[in-house]
Amino acid sequence: MEPVLETAMKQFHRAADQVGLSDQHRELLTSFKTIYRTQFPVEMDDETFRIFEGYRVLHNNARGPTKGGIRYSPHVSMDEVKALAMWMTWKCAVVNVPFGGAKGGVTVDPATLSHNERQNLTRRFTAEIIPIIGPDQDIPAPDMGTGPETMAWMMDTYSMMKGYTIPGVVTGKPVAVGGSEGRFEATGRGLTYVLEEHLSMDGGLQGRTVAVQGFGNVGGVTAKLLRQGGATVQYISDVDTALYHPAGLDTVTAWAHVQQGGSLKTWLEQPGVEADVVDGADVLSADVDVLVPAAVESVLTEYNADKVRARLVLEGANGPTTAEADEILNDRGITVIPDILANAGGVTVSYFEWVQARQYMQWSEEQVNAELRRLMVNAYRTVVSRCPIGSHGDCTQREAAQWVGIERVVEAIEHRGIYP
């Protein structure tokens, strides 16, 4: 079992022990409804073909159709996809949207493919998983290495196979083909809303120092919004470059530069940019108020958790903290707002997009953001009501979020019963 799946299972079993979950429900919730693995050829630009391996895992659909991203990464594996699918189940339940959890991916470095090759791969992978996806069955979304364009290709491929346009089969699409206003920034905006609510009784966001690890869609948007909200973002990093400035980095222009195809390294070369290059590990150990790990899973481990100096960890990535690191952080009095709560803004606005697609309606960005704030704040308050802030040693926010997620899924299972 890979560390990421081991972490997901440890988190579940710890919470299951605490809520007294029955052995039958425990067995059901650690099993997976559908595990789909496929190997498929893709035609390359030189007219040769390569074989790729892809996965789609549906964890649990007691609360509704399954929902989860598609990632393109060299590190995609079955265990990773299973862990992410399980986390999606709890995440959807915590924010109380009527979905279950799923995840998928292809083992590939998308940077090595041309635009045409990425399209060929996406369309072929979509054709492979058509038997298990659908607007009432399983609804993919963007993730690491994929984006709105990928979702447009998936929607078009599925629609062509069915013979008519079905915008609700995926979310995270461009607005022009049935996407939702506000979806692109939804995960980062949700993180910001949760942090604002968390700090609302303790002076708010203004002037808080922040370190953000990862500068993709989640980290980049979060760093931009936190700066605009009055925080001082002192550290940012991507896969190649980590930057620091004590007075705060201009993350608004940095994110705009990255969106135009640049990187933090090339942004640093722009006129007027003030920042020092630091080691990537310095971001995780930064002496700041808030640490936002927003890159990949398992970056906070038993080997570096004792070096974390932030008093609050806001999880932007899925599974950035191992079970061992969780214990260390809790023992040190560091609050962790867990991924299944903190980064649920993406799936929440995906739900809004799905609703709009089913009704052939278009919400305004203001409406989307207002509803996102409402659901994120409600979810945060529900979790905190189970484990009040300052309860170190008695419970953690992760445990409380897991309790909420597990209990809501079990409630749905019990109401529906088991089909004979």
Residues annotated catalytic, as ranges:
103
247 CB burial (10 A radius; 0-12, 13-18, 19+) = exposed
Buried b (16+ CB within 10 A) or exposed e, 12-50: bebbbeeeebeeebbebbeebbbebeeebebeeeeeeee
174 CB burial (10 A radius; 0-12, 13-18, 19+) = middle
What is the C-alpha separation between 373 and 70, in angstroms, rounded? 25
279 CB burial (10 A radius; 0-12, 13-18, 19+) = exposed
Element (H, E) at 307: none
What is the C-alpha separation between 174 and 362, in angstroms, rounded? 13
DSSP class of residue 399 equals H
The residues pairing with 236 across neighbouring beta strands, listed in sequence order, are 212, 243
Residue 5 in 3-state DSSP?
Answer: helix
Structure tokens, 326:
């969780």
Buried b (16+ CB within 10 A) or exposed e, 120-142: bbbbbbbbbbeebbebeebbbbb
Quickly count helices (H) and strands (E) in the chain. 15, 12
What is the C-alpha separation between 35 and 6, in angstroms, rounded? 18
What is the C-alpha separation between 81 and 255, in angstroms, rounded? 28
Residue 178 in 3-state DSSP?
Answer: coil
